[in-house]
Structure 1
């Protein structure tokens, strides 16, 4: 009998209702019925699904449709669109009249709307939590815990985004204050730029740095140096990082930035080796083989010491979807901060939902997702992209916007499109027979273009297009400013 005692039902916990406020819902609906202008105070953020009571949701939905059609919403105009229910001896038309007659003022309409909205978010949060627990208990064999965590993070961030009240018109004086604040931050940054400096002087002069919330596409054919220039810029930004502690204990970036790199093609070790080569001046193949002198080893050691404290974070996971990438980027910003993000490269990402063979549609989802992520995180995102082979069939192989692979959406969603072009790459593959006159001409052309690269700004929403000349050291894959003839020291004859 002692064992049976364990089966005795325990006292039930009191029933917990989902958070709601019927009085606020009634007050808001009544205020709108009395004065339709009250709707304008909540229409930006409130939806029928935010109401707890189903009849209230239906009333708000009908009023929304009528008002947006330019009609009026009164107890008389909306009653024909509502179900005929018995509400405990009160009909729906009678209930609507009661809502209107008990309404007092529209002054608090916005506050009532926010209360309804916040309670709806809390109910959604409870639902996500319950589903997360149930899914963890009953997960299918093929679903990993990490996939569950990423899905939960995605849903929570989606809920957080839905909970924002920003948007709509703002006072011009507020916009002016933001402009002055931006100018003040630019004054404190290296080079006095409105955006984050790339560390490449001529490129910064053309672009004003990398602007927050921009999607920057860097495109080129294989061998042009897309990954190299993105890595160079990422390193320069991380190296220039300087932060100030705020009153609330957080660190605010004053110069440079905290950098995240999604390297879908290369391992973290390969990327680190490339950066080491760039900064030490020792070719990466020599570093990998250990074929270095004592002096070079010293330079390598100095470069490692200088780089160890850099705010540079690398994710080398291959085969990421745009949803997974967004989740990891949000996590990085939350845990360490984030000021600049690199994705190497676009075509290695997959869409959240499989589109079958329609790669163009899938790429549209990816670029739209990256642009939305740049706005959400308020950081510039630099995504690398391959170019189609049609470049190779032209005499002038400088890329154009039409060369963007699986194109359309890339050009449309990007705020900036940069093309990397190195004439030397094409020229060195067309070497004539040595000793001929053609070879002498070829050699003269090679001398002219040796170590030079072009960054073609094919599109820029807030600045000019054009071409920037850069220096490129192929053996260490490093881009740098090109020394101008005017500034070179005099040569001794």
Structure 2
């Protein structure tokens, strides 16, 4: 079988020898639409307002047209009038278009041939769409060239992720930054949020965590929020995040819109980035919680037939919930963003959980300046939350200075690299279990101290605190929760008035 490259070369040589004209594909463009838009703006400067929200000089195929558009926009935004007369001074020394036409003369022709500004927005949209097609061509060509000429140490997976990021950025670049909207429009959106909160169970504006007392403080997990859940080792931050992720996925309900798309009406589809534990370990935790069988017994196989049957039934029920786990360790913030976008495109996505923040790397991998790297990570997570319009819950470690204090309840200053984490987060929560510390001060039995210790243990046993240290749109404070260590399960703490009477 002949080499395709050889056949192509041979065909080219035959065309040259036969004096046949060679045809080349030009990038998609419409010079007439560009001329019509520029002429409309020159005749009536208000035409710029119809396209300035989405069109930029880079979108023009003809470089001169892009430069003219930029000059017109600069003058008009400065409060000046842009006409062929006022603009020509910026182009008098520019090289003529051809032997008989200078750029100032060309500006006059553009204005003379302009008819109306009614179609200005359509001309602008045509220019924008064609620029998008040209950008797609560039991305495709770069993909091909990189695949041909990639270095030996460059993994194909890295190229795929880079291409995905570029394509998604191209698709989303006009989604945000739409400029001003009327207050009436903003009010309508606010009423829609209030209405959905009124109709949703628990009257929450965000997704329910499954913990009613925490929901009452947060109003649920709010879209576009970056939520930091921090705690010292063994406090249960992974357990709490897992509980919340499962509760959100279990409550998932959706309905079809008129346009055929799917809208989440309750709960949500969850993406869980488990950078520390494997997907099997994470599944075992959730299985133990739901089946109420100790995870230690499950791992060691210390279960009887009835317990195994119960595990199978619970696992069968759990397999239907929309919870997706990515167990890749050491990924960069760019890789995480790319995978989250892909999951949203393919299956939908309403909540991201990252366990945990310090195991992520910056775009260039782990560098020497960890503070700058964490800043890039937290900024990237917040930008991703806004871009995908969903809450992101990122777990974080606390510094050891907590252990040096008598009161070991964490505070904002205990966050590692706290500057960027505290600044970028919309909500910062801490998990604290006093039982953990009291248990480790157990004195010898039979001593007076032991009786005091037993009293203290009875007061803190099975209890946990979720301390809300920061919340942009709500109150701070402490939420008391129950904690069952053997099932790694947090729950609503029963109040005295809720307890059954004798």
TM-score by length of 2: 0.92
Residue by residue, what CA displacement relative to the aligned partner does 1:164-221 show, whole Å, maximum 9, x if unpaired? 3762222333333323332333344322211111100101111111111111110111
Deviation of 1:151 after TM superposition, in Å, equals 0.9
Deviation of 1:249 after TM superposition, in Å, equals 4.3
2:213 paired residue among 199, 202, 214: 202
2:59 maps to: 50
The alpha-carbon distance between structure 1 residues 395 and 5, as it changes in their structure 2 partners (threshold 3 A), is closer
1:421 maps to: 432
**What is the distance in 2 between the residues matched to 1:439 and 1:453?**
23
1:184 maps to: 195
Residue by residue, what CA displacement relative to the aligned partner does 1:249-297 show, whole Å, maximum 9, x if unpaired? 4433222111110000000000011111111111111101001123322
**What is the distance in 2 between the residues matched to 1:153 and 1:53?**
28
Structure 2 residue 41 is matched with structure 1 residue 21: no
2:483 paired residue among 456, 472, 483: 472
1:84 paired residue among 86, 89, 94: 94
Is the Cα–Cα contact under 8 Å of residues 332 and 365 in structure 2 kept in the other structure? Answer: no
- Residue range with higher mean Cα deviation, 312-321 or 84-93: 84-93
**What is the distance in 2 between the residues matched to 1:69 and 1:126?**
35
1:288 maps to: 299
Structure 2 residue 44 is matched with structure 1 residue 35: yes
Is the Cα–Cα contact under 8 Å of residues 355 and 361 in structure 1 kept in the other structure? Answer: no
**What is the distance in 2 between the residues matched to 1:164 and 1:229?**
34
Structure 2 residue 222 is matched with structure 1 residue 211: yes
Deviation of 1:337 after TM superposition, in Å, equals 1.2
Deviation of 1:399 after TM superposition, in Å, equals 1.3
Is the Cα–Cα contact under 8 Å of residues 34 and 65 in structure 2 kept in the other structure? Answer: yes
Name the Cα RMSD after superposition.
2.1
Residue by residue, what CA displacement relative to the aligned partner does 1:65-97 show, whole Å, maximum 9, x if unpaired? 333444443333333333421212111111122
Residue by residue, what CA displacement relative to the aligned partner does 1:420-450 show, whole Å, maximum 9, x if unpaired? 1111111212223332222222221111011
For the residue of structure 1 that corresponds to 2:380, the secondary structure is helix
**What is the distance in 2 between the residues matched to 1:5 and 1:167?**
50
- Equivalenced residues, count: 488
Structure 2 residue 343 is matched with structure 1 residue 335: no
1:277 maps to: 288
Note the 1:262-411 alignment, pairs <5 A: 262-354=273-365, 356-411=367-422
Give structure 1 stretches of 5+ with no counterpart: none
Deviation of 1:5 after TM superposition, in Å, equals 10
For the residue of structure 1 that corresponds to 2:272, the secondary structure is strand
The alpha-carbon distance between structure 1 residues 251 and 58, as it changes in their structure 2 partners (threshold 3 A), is closer
For the residue of structure 1 that corresponds to 2:418, the secondary structure is coil
**What is the distance in 2 between the residues matched to 1:441 and 1:414?**
40
2:184 maps to: 173
1:448 paired residue among 432, 453, 459: 459
Is the Cα–Cα contact under 8 Å of residues 253 and 268 in structure 2 kept in the other structure? Answer: yes
Is the Cα–Cα contact under 8 Å of residues 188 and 254 in structure 1 kept in the other structure? Answer: no
**What is the distance in 2 between the residues matched to 1:353 and 1:37?**
45
1:62 maps to: 71
The alpha-carbon distance between structure 1 residues 250 and 33, as it changes in their structure 2 partners (threshold 3 A), is closer
2:82 maps to: 73
1:222 paired residue among 214, 223, 233: 233
The alpha-carbon distance between structure 1 residues 425 and 61, as it changes in their structure 2 partners (threshold 3 A), is same
Residue by residue, what CA displacement relative to the aligned partner does 1:92-150 show, whole Å, maximum 9, x if unpaired? 11112222233233333222222211111111011111111222233322222222211
TM-score by length of 1: 0.94
Is the Cα–Cα contact under 8 Å of residues 54 and 178 in structure 2 kept in the other structure? Answer: no
